[in-house]
């Protein structure tokens, strides 16, 4: 998970671009009539996202005389479509993640803009820039139409939830097997509020992070085995322990990465350090 700065494009600018690209005079008039309603929905979103209360935002079937299909159509015709009137905004948001790394998992490459609150249930937020987040294929697919029915079901929002990244809550556990396997879950600090503990668990589940992290970590185990063999040849079990400690400490700058969780688990496992790594196939 990574946090990102707020998009600089405003709701008003994007709406104006969508209007400029709308050639049907009837739709143009009906959209113009809901200008203030959409602006208000955007302001409410900002307020609630800042307060970790996006769950209280109402899901709406339409806005004024504009249908859900017409509102989501604005996104498809003007934002995500190549050469759409607001395509530059879509590109700016999608390309905002450093090194193209998905902010929802920290592993995949960004491929899309994801509607944090899905446009199928919140069509009034379909073109709101702060509701659009860069995401990889897998996170985008796993989240799909999910929405927060309760405060606890709010997933990590890269623009608003930096506080959820301050401490480590991704946990790896080594199952000695054979063969040894790493499994992942969440274990937020006991001092955290119950709401935040539930939220990171929900995010972990909603984005399928157990799958993403398990796949990456277990794929790395044969490399780790061979590195540890080299270390053992140079300095025995003490060198193995020091190597694992160093890797753990180097990865601590990303405390919720699968790498940090992996090395934390391995460095703390006496069986693994004293030769268990040799059973990795």
**CB 110 → Zn ion: shortest distance, Å?**
8
Buried b (16+ CB within 10 A) or exposed e, 266-278: bbebeebbeebbe
Judged by CB, which is closer to Zn ion: 59, or 101?
101
Judged by CB, which is closer to Zn ion: 104, or 165?
104
Name every residue whose Cβ is closer than 8 Å to that of residue 199 and which is 6 or more positions away in sequence: 52, 151, 152, 153, 154, 155, 156, 161, 164
Name every residue whose Cβ is closer than 8 Å to that of residue 74 and which is 6 or more positions away in sequence: 18, 22, 31, 126, 127
**CB 252 → Zn ion: shortest distance, Å?**
21
For 59, 76, 90, 129, the CA distances from 82, given in Å and listed in that order, are 29, 10, 10, 17
What is the Cα–Cα distance from 210 to 243, expressed in whole angstroms?
26
What is the Cα–Cα distance from 151 to 55, expressed in whole angstroms?
5
Judged by CB, which is closer to Zn ion: 124, or 161?
161
**CB 226 → Zn ion: shortest distance, Å?**
29
| DSSP three-state, residue 62 | strand
What is the Cα–Cα distance from 104 to 204, expressed in whole angstroms?
9
**CB 136 → Zn ion: shortest distance, Å?**
3
**CB 105 → Zn ion: shortest distance, Å?**
3
Contact 50, 160 (CB under 8 A): yes
| DSSP three-state, residue 174 | strand
For 155, 164, 229, the CA distances from 93, given in Å and listed in that order, are 19, 22, 44
Peptide bond into 179 cis (omega under 30): yes
Judged by CB, which is closer to Zn ion: 123, or 134?
134
**CB 205 → Zn ion: shortest distance, Å?**
14
Judged by CB, which is closer to Zn ion: 258, or 272?
258
**CB 113 → Zn ion: shortest distance, Å?**
13
Judged by CB, which is closer to Zn ion: 79, or 105?
105
Where does this chain bind Zn ion (CB under 5 A)?
102, 104-105, 108, 136, 139
Judged by CB, which is closer to Zn ion: 107, or 266?
107
Judged by CB, which is closer to Zn ion: 35, or 100?
100
Q: Which two tokens stand for residue 73?
A: 């159509």
**CB 238 → Zn ion: shortest distance, Å?**
38
| DSSP three-state, residue 66 | strand
């Amino acid at each position: 998970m990574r946090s990102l700065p707020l998009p600089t494009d405003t709701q008003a600018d994007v709406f104006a671009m969508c209007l400029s690209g709308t050639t049907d005079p009837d739709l143009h008039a009906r959209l113009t009539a809901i200008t203030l309603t959409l602006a208000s929905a955007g302001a409410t979103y900002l307020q609630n996202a800042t307060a970790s209360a996006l769950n209280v935002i109402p899901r709406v079937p339409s806005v004024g005389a504009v249908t859900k299909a017409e509102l989501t159509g604005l996104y498809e015709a003007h934002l995500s479509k190549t050469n759409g009137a607001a395509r530059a905004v879509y590109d700016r948001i999608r390309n905002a993640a450093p090194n193209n790394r998905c902010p929802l998992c920290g592993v995949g490459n960004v491929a899309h803009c994801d509607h944090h609150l899905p446009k199928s249930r919140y069509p009034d937020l379909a073109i709101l820039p702060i509701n659009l987040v860069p995401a990889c294929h897998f996170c985008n697919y796993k989240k799909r139409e999910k929405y927060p029915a309760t405060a606890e079901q709010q997933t990590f929002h890269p623009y608003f939830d930096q506080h959820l990244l301050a401490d480590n809550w991704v946990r790896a556990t080594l199952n000695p097997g054979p063969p040894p396997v790493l499994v992942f879950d969440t274990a937020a600090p006991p001092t955290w509020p119950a709401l935040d503990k539930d939220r990171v668990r929900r995010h972990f589940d909603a984005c399928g992070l157990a799958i993403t992290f398990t796949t990456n970590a277990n794929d790395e185990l044969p490399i780790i085995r061979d590195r540890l063999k080299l270390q053992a040849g140079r300095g025995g079990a003490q060198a193995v322990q020091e190597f694992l400690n160093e890797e753990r400490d180097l990865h601590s700058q990303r405390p919720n990465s699968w790498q940090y969780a992996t090395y934390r688990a391995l460095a703390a496992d006496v069986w693994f350090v004293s030769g268990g790594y040799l059973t990795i196939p």
